[in-house]
Structure 1
Amino acid sequence: MTALLSTFARVLAAGGTAAFLIYVPSSAYADDASNALATTHKDIEQTFGKVPDFLKALPDSGLPGAWAETKALEFSDGALTVKTKALISLAVSAQIPCNYCIWSDTVSARQAGATDAEIKEAVAMAAITRHWSTIFNGMQVDFEQFKKDLGGDTTANK
């Protein structure tokens, strides 16, 4: 450790930091990453009963963060319910399009209590949004005039 601090002091005295960053031993980071990955795998197994193959396709370094974000945002109620989030995700997935997402979002929406009518309406809203967006953008409708025509505040959302 003393040698490391001495090296750090020499690098700083020479006005550099990049050399120090390369020199820093990574074993401590590797241990932390390994523990985070093991904890993440356990959490995923508790949620799905196993670690699905598609999650194994992610790099080990990215899985803990990706899982934490997905679990916190998609799998729990917040300002939006899980059902509403699944319907939004399905609508977006239909527009991308992503067959994997459409299938899983439809299953998730149904598991969260969405009816067939709600699923159809969510997808139809995505379609009509895409439809009008195509017209507005393709016809180069003036945005400021558009806001005035709809009676909105012309300073909002700039």
Structure 2
Amino acid sequence: MKKTFAIATLAAATLMGAVSFASAQDLPSVEDTYKDIEATFGVVPGHFKSYPPTGVAGAWAMTKGLVVDPANKLEPKVKSLIGLAVAAQIPCQYCIWLETKFAKVAGATDEEVAEAVAQAAYVRHWSTYLNGMQVDFETFKTEFGGD
């Protein structure tokens, strides 16, 4: 189950289009990248195999850093609930499916999943209204206590 959680989180992070800014000469070869992915997750997911060879090492470096680095501050459940909220707004059916699955594997309840999606809807609602009405940003900030 831990392996499945890791693979899904990896897939979701990659599918959300994150980009690594490391230079090509600092990155391992495609073959070494695949070996590292397999050593980490037990499999090289298809979306990594289909990723452009010139970008797969950078995509893996970013994904590995955000998903499995022990220095990360956010717990897996929180990361998945954030990912789910973002995925619901994009929308990305792959990410929604994976992040929901992994949030639950990490201990999220159905109520927490629903609240994360509702939070995304709430932010999207007010963003649409505030931007559409061209509410003055400086006035808005002042109304909520300034900087």
Who is 1:111 aligned against?
Answer: 105
Which one of 95, 108, 114 corresponds to residue 89 of structure 2?
95
| Residues matched between the structures, number | 123
Which one of 115, 120, 128 corresponds to residue 134 of structure 1?
128
Report deviation, 1:75: 3.3
Instruction: Work out whether 1:67 is the aligned partner of 2:60.
Output: yes
Equivalent residue of 1:61, what SS? helix
Report deviation, 1:121: 0.9
Instruction: Work out whether 1:52 is the aligned partner of 2:32.
Output: no
Equivalent residue of 1:51, what SS? coil
Q: TM-score, normalised by structure 2?
A: 0.74
Work out the CA distance in 1 between the residues paired with 2:80 and 2:69: 11
Report deviation, 1:39: 2.1
Work out the CA distance in 1 between the residues paired with 2:89 and 2:69: 24
Any conservation in 2 of the 1:109–1:119 contact (CA below 8 Å)?
A: yes
| Structure 1 residue runs of 4 or more that deviate by more than 6 Å after TM superposition | none
Larger radius of gyration: 1
**What amino acid is aligned across from residue 67 of structure 2 in structure 1?**
E
Report deviation, 1:76: 4.1
* Root-mean-square deviation (Å): 2.2
Instruction: Work out whether 1:148 is the aligned partner of 2:142.
Output: yes
Report the identity percentage: 57
Work out the CA distance in 2 between the residues paired with 1:152 and 1:131: 22
Q: 1:97 to 1:67 in 2, by over 3 A?
A: same
Gaps of 5+ in 2: 1-23
Gaps of 5+ in 1: 1-28, 154-158
Report deviation, 1:138: 0.6
Work out the CA distance in 2 between the residues paired with 1:106 and 1:40: 27
Any conservation in 2 of the 1:75–1:82 contact (CA below 8 Å)?
A: no
Q: TM-score, normalised by structure 1?
A: 0.69
* Per-residue deviation, residues 34-73 of structure 1 (Å, max 9, x unmatched): x632222122223443222221111112111101111111
Any conservation in 2 of the 1:93–1:101 contact (CA below 8 Å)?
A: yes
